C-alpha cells in the first residue's frame, strides 16, 4: 500500500548540492511533515507514495533554497537613496543621518516585508540579517513563513533602538530567549564592526556567543582605508584584534574580507571561521576583492551575501552567484577555480553551515527541512541545457524561480506570493519614498 505524504515534486533535474556536483534526472522529491522524506526515480515514487499534492516540474531544476548570509533587510527602503559614493561618505554623510531620522519599528516592518518579498521571488529561503529592531524583522519573517537568522545588533553609539551597550545586549538576549522555540527563527550576535564596537564590548559578546553557542556576524576588513585607520589606532589589523579578543572561532562570520593577507587566510582556516562574500556590493562601493579562490583552497567556508539594497542595489543571490564565479576567476587569474558546483554550494550549504544550520537546511537530503526552489530552465536565456548546474550559475535569472517552499510550506506558487500582500507592500514602499524624499529635500 502506498505511503501517504504531503507533497510529491516530479522534476526534470534535481540538484541536491550534497554530494557536490550531482544531478538527478527525472527524479521525485517527497515531503512529509515539512521535511524531505526521500529522493528517488520518478517511476519508483509513483508506486511507493500517495500524495495530497503532486506537482510536475518537467522543465525545472529542483534545488535547495538560496541562503543570503548578509543582509540589512529593511534598508531596502533606502534603495538608490545615495549611490556612486565611497563607503565612508556613503555611510557618514547619507545613510547614518537618514537612519537617525527615519528608522523606527514601522520603517523596519515595511522594509523587511519588501525585502522578504524580493528574496522569496528570487529563490531565497533563509536570510541572515543585521539591523535595528531585530524583533520586528523576526515577527515579519515569522508571519510569512520565512527562515531567518536575526542579528542581535550592537554598536558603541546610541540609536533609536538602544542607548548603550547594556541596552543593546539586554534587548538582544531577551529576543534570543523569545525565539528559542521558533523552528524557523534563529539568532546571531551582530556587532557592526571592530571600528564601531570597542574591544571590551567585543570580548563580552564573544563570551556570550560561546555560552549561547550562536554565531557572531560582523563586518571585517571591508576596505583598505578602514584597515589602515584601525591599524594606526590600535597597532594591529582588525582580524588580529578579533583573535586577541577570542572571537576568531567557528562561530565567526566575517563579512566582506576584501583586504586579506596570506597569513590571515591560514588563521581563518585554522580557526574554522566563515567568510560572507558580497561581490556586487564590494564592486559598487569599490571596496576591493575578496580572494575567494584562495580562501576556498585553504579550506575556509565561504558563503554568499548581497549586503543591503541601499548599497547593492538588489537582493538577487542569482546575480551574486554569477558575480562571485566570474570575479573569483578574474582575481585568481585562473578560469578553472570556483567551478559552478562549488559556487552554488557557497549560496546554499556553505551558507547554512556559516549560520550553524547545516544539519537543518542548505541541501536536499532526507531528514532535512524542505527548503527548496524550482527554477524553470526552458526559457530562451537558458536553452539548450547541457549542464544544469552551469546554467544555474552562469545564465539563470531570479525571474525564472517559479516556486519556493520553506519547511514544506509553498510560499511562492507559480510566481505568486502566498503569504504576503504584494500590492500593500509596494504601496507602503512608495509612501516611504515620498516621505524620505520630501524630508531629504527639506
Which phi and psi (to 5°) does residue 132 adopt?
-75, 160
What are the pLDDT digits (tens) for 153-209?
999 999 999 999 999 999 999 999 999 999 999 999 999 999 999 999 999 999 999
Beta sheet of 185-191, edge-to-edge order: 66-71, 124-129, 147-154, 185-191, 216-220, 252-256, 274-277, 301-304
Say how many CA atoms lie within 13 Å of 262 toward its Cβ: 0
Pairing label, strands 147-154, 124-129: parallel
Q: What is the pLDDT of residue 441?
A: 59
Contact 416, 155 (CB under 8 A): no
The DSSP H or E segment spanning 150 is strand 147-154
Question: Mean pLDDT across the chain, nearest whole number?
Answer: 96
CB atoms closer than 10 angstroms to residue 140: 23
Provide the 3-class DSSP secondary structure of residue 50. Answer: strand
Could you read off the pLDDT of 74-86 as tens digits, one per residue?
Answer: 999 999 998 998 8
Rg over CA atoms, the chain: 21
Measured distance between the N- and C-terminal CA atoms of the chain, rounded to whole angstroms: 71
For the CA atoms of 256, 18, 365, 112, what is the dihedral angle to 10 degrees? 20
What sign for the dihedral angle of Cα 435, 436, 437, 442?
positive
Q: How confident is the model over 255-288, as pLDDT tens digits?
A: 999 999 999 999 999 999 999 999 999 999 999 9
| pLDDT average, residue stretch 331-339 | 97
Nearest to 306 by CA among 155, 119, 113, 140: 119
Pairing of strands 409-413, 401-406: antiparallel
Q: What are the beta bridge partners of residue 9?
A: 29, 55
Q: Judge whether residue 140 has pLDDT over 90.
A: yes
User: Any bridge partners for residue 424, and if so which?
Assistant: none
Q: Indicate if the pLDDT at residue 3 is higher than 70.
A: yes
Of the listed ranges 66-70, 309-313, 387-391, the one predicted with least confidence: 309-313
State how far Cα 427 lies from the chain centre.
26
CA distance 158 to 343: 39
**What is the set of domains in the chain, with CATH numbers?**
3-64+369-407 (2.30.40.10), 66-354 (3.20.20.140)
For the chain, what is the total number of helices (H) and then of strands (E)? 17, 16
Alpha-carbon distance of 145 to 235, in angstroms, equals 46
Find, among 55, 28, 65, 110, the residue nearest to 430 by Cα: 110
> What confidence category does residue 442 fall into, taking pLDDT thresholds of 50, 70 and 90?
low
3-class SS string, 176-197: HHHHCCCCCEEEEEEECCCCCC
Phi, psi of 118 (to 5 degrees): -65, -45
- Residue pair 207/181 in contact (Cβ under 8 Å)? The answer is no
Contacting residues for 182 by C-beta, under 8 A, at least 6 apart: 138, 142
Question: Percentage of the chain surpassing pLDDT 70?
Answer: 99
Residue among 366, 375, 417 nearest 398 (CA)? 375
Separation between Cα atoms, residue 442 and residue 440, nearest integer Å: 5
| pLDDT over threshold 60, residue 238 | yes
Render pLDDT for 13-25 as a digit per residue (tens, 0 to 9).
999 999 999 999 9
Q: If 0-12 CB within 10 Å is exposed, 13-18 middle and 19+ buried, where does residue 212 land?
A: middle
Read off the C-alpha cell for 269.
582556516
Nearest to 9 by CA among 47, 58, 48, 44: 58
In 3D, which of 215, 270, 277 has the Cα closest to residue 243?
270
Give per-residue pLDDT as tens, 50-63.
Answer: 999 999 999 999 99
Amino acid at each position: 500500500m502506498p505511503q501517504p505524504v504531503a507533497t510529491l515534486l516530479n522534476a526534470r533535474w534535481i540538484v541536491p548540492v550534497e554530494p557536490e556536483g550531482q544531478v538527478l534526472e527525472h527524479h521525485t522529491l517527497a515531503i512529509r511533515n515539512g521535511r524531505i522524506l526521500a529522493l528517488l526515480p520518478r517511476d519508483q515514487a509513483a508506486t511507493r507514495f500517495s500524495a495530497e499534492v503532486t506537482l510536475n516540474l518537467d522543465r525545472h531544476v529542483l534545488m535547495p533554497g538560496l541562503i543570503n548570509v548578509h543582509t540589512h533587510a529593511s534598508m531596502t527602503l533606502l534603495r538608490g537613496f545615495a549611490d556612486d559614493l565611497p563607503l565612508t561618505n556613503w555611510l557618514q554623510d547619507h545613510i547614518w543621518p537618514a537612519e537617525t531620522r527615519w528608522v523606527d519599528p514601522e520603517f523596519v516592518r515595511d522594509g523587511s516585508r519588501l525585502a522578504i518579498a524580493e528574496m522569496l521571488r528570487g529563490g531565497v529561503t533563509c536570510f541572515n540579517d543585521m539591523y535595528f529592531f531585530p524583533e520586528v524583522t523576526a515577527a515579519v519573517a515569522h508571519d510569512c513563513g520565512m527562515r531567518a537568522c536575526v542579528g542581535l545588533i550592537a554598536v558603541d553609539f546610541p540609536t533609536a533602538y538602544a542607548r548603550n551597550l547594556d541596552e543593546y545586549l539586554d534587548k538582544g538576549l531577551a529576543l534570543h530567549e523569545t525565539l528559542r522555540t521558533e523552528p524557523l527563527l534563529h539568532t546571531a550576535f551582530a556587532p557592526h564592526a571592530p571600528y564601531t564596537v570597542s574591544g571590551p564590548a567585543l570580548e563580552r559578546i564573544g563570551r556570550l556567543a560561546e555560552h549561547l553557542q550562536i554565531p557572531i556576524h560582523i563586518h571585517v576588513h571591508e576596505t583598505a582605508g578602514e584597515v589602515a585607520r584601525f591599524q594606526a589606532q590600535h597597532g594591529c589589523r582588525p582580524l588580529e584584534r578579533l583573535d586577541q579578543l577570542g572571537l576568531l572561532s567557528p562561530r565567526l562570520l566575517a563579512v566582506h574580507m576584501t583586504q586579506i593577507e596570506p597569513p590571515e587566510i591560514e588563521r581563518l582556516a585554522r580557526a574554522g571561521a566563515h567568510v560572507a562574500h558580497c561581490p556586487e556590493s564590494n564592486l559598487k562601493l569599490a571596496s576591493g576583492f575578496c580572494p575567494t579562490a584562495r580562501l576556498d583552497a585553504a579550506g575556509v567556508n565561504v558563503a554568499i551575501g548581497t549586503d543591503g539594497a541601499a548599497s547593492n542595489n538588489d537582493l538577487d543571490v542569482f546575480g551574486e552567484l554569477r558575480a562571485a564565479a566570474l570575479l573569483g576567476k578574474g582575481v585568481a587569474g585562473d578560469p578553472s577555480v570556483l567551478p559552478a558546483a562549488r559556487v552554488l554550494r557557497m549560496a546554499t550549504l556553505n551558507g547554512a553551515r556559516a549560520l550553524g544550520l547545516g544539519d537543518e537546511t542548505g541541501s536536499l537530503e532526507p531528514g532535512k527541512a524542505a527548503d527548496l526552489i524550482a527554477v524553470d530552465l526552458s526559457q530562451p536565456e537558458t536553452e539548450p541545457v547541457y549542464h544544469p548546474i552551469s546554467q544555474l550559475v552562469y545564465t539563470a535569472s531570479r525571474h525564472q524561480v517559479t516556486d519556493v517552499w520553506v519547511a514544506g510550506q509553498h510560499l511562492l506558487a507559480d510566481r505568486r506570493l502566498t503569504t504576503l500582500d504584494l500590492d500593500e507592500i509596494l504601496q507602503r514602499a512608495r509612501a516611504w519614498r515620498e516621505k524620505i524624499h520630501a524630508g531629504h529635500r527639506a
